[in-house]
Amino acid sequence: MAGESSVPGDGSAGSDGRPASVGTGVLRTSSHLDHPVEDLVAAKAAQGLTASLVLPARNEEATVAEVVSAYLPLVGQGLVDELVVLDSLSTDRTAARAAAAGARVVHAADVRPELEAVPGKGEALWRSLGATTGDLVAFCDADVLDAGPHFVAGLLGPLLAEPEVALVKGFYQRPILDDDGEPRETGGRVTELTARPLLNLYRPELGRMVQPLAGEWAGRRSLLEALPFPVGYGVEVAVLLDAHERLGLGGLAQVDLGCRTHRRQSQDALGVMAAQVAAAALRRLGLEPEGHAMVQFSPDGHAPRETPLTFVERPPWASLAPVTEAGAALSR
């Protein structure tokens, strides 16, 4: 597509025997501006492809309706064939508000109900594969304050332009605004303090990925259904590392989506997220976690608090036994 640039890989890979394509590819980098919706609709039709948009949502009643409304026009324009809010065991009015805004709402527990649903973003994304049918699947967070159709158009662009590309990550400016709306610092604390250091140390070829943990990303169903999904926040880094391992840098792309602000979690909550991200990444680097809880402390260093950690990973969707008409999974 016009305006696409490429960011050369670091060229260091290949010395450890990984596929020759790893380390010799380039990380395709484009902008959402390169992908006018009408061009994408035509390309999608010409390729006979369908596209699903999934918004994983846990207790997002405050923002989900506006986010759905931001993306709904893409359904009318024929770029997105289905818009699903995957309700992730919410306890608020997320589902009602998403439905009222025009989304199809699917509850995590209703997808493969014979498998008990657990809390977690990765669980929601994994279940969404069973609730959608698109050849291309885009995922966007439901707590984003400046969502627009360009997010999804940008994500689908490289998948429609480059047959070799199977995973696309969004990137953006992530300003954190202070009380009078002025940018105070940049978001992405787990990205900057956990994911980016790990990738640069152990997968330097992915060092050019601007937002490796971006909650706005898209992939070909054939890839997504072939990968395991950590049930928690480790899902993004896991999919990125697994896709890189399978496809090399040539199978990946990133797209500038402009600016993205979202509801921010506490530092304690992000400490637990960082543990999940690190565990998922290190497992793929050959290190299994030994701990099963995150101990954090009150500001005075006393009062330790334990948060259980789970490192459960759902198996590749494609490996699941087909469901009989009775709804029970066939044993294999």
Ligand X SMILES: O=c1ccn([C@@H]2O[C@H](COP(=O)(O)OP(=O)(O)O)[C@@H](O)[C@H]2O)c(=O)[nH]1
Q: Interface residues with ligand X (CB under 6 A)?
A: 56-58, 60, 88, 119-121, 124, 141-143, 215, 262, 265
Among 236, 242, 256, 313, binds ligand XDX (CB under 6 A): 236
For residue 195, give the DSSP letter.
Answer: I
Scanning 78-86, 88-96, 126-134, 189-197 for contacts with ligand XDX by CB under 6 A, the matching segment is 189-197
For residue 322, give the DSSP letter.
Answer: P
Q: Which of positions 271-300 make contact with ligand XDX (CB under 6 A)?
A: 273, 277
Contact call for residue 24 and ligand XDX (CB under 6 A):
no
Number of residues this chain uses to bind ligand XDX (CB under 6 A)? 17
Binds 236, which of ligand X, ligand XDX, none (CB < 5 to 8 A, cut-off by type)?
ligand XDX
Q: What is the dihedral of CA 190, 144, 254, 134, to 10 degrees?
A: 120
Binds 251, which of ligand X, ligand XDX, none (CB < 5 to 8 A, cut-off by type)?
none
Mask 193-222, x = binds ligand XDX (CB under 6 A)?
--------------------x-x-------
Q: Return the SS3 of 239.
A: helix
Contact call for residue 189 and ligand XDX (CB under 6 A):
yes
Binds 40, which of ligand XDX, ligand X, none (CB < 5 to 8 A, cut-off by type)?
none
| Strand-pair category, 252-259 with 167-173 | parallel
Calpha distance 248→118 (Å, rounded): 32
**Enclosing H/E stretch for 66:** helix 64-71
Instruction: Rank residues 2 and 193 by Cβ distance to ligand XDX and give the closer one.
Output: 193
Q: Which residue has the tokens 């405050």?
A: 62
Q: Return the SS3 of 332.
A: coil
The answer to whether 162 touches 34, Cβ cutoff 8 Å, is no
* Helical ranges in 225-323 per DSSP H: 235-247, 267-284
Give one DSSP letter per residue of 122-141, joined into a string: HHHHHHHHHH---SEEEE--
Quote the least distance from Cβ 75 to ligand X, whole Å.
Answer: 19
**Residue 174 is encoded by which pair of tokens?**
């992530």
Quote the least distance from Cβ 83 to ligand X, whole Å.
Answer: 14
Instruction: Rank residues 181 and 322 by Cβ distance to ligand XDX and give the closer one.
Output: 181
The answer to whether 149 touches 37, Cβ cutoff 8 Å, is yes
Scanning 111-119, 183-191, 220-228, 313-321 for contacts with ligand XDX by CB under 6 A, the matching segment is 183-191
Q: Which residues bind ligand XDX (CB under 6 A)?
A: 121, 141, 174, 187-191, 213, 215, 233, 236, 264-265, 270, 273, 277
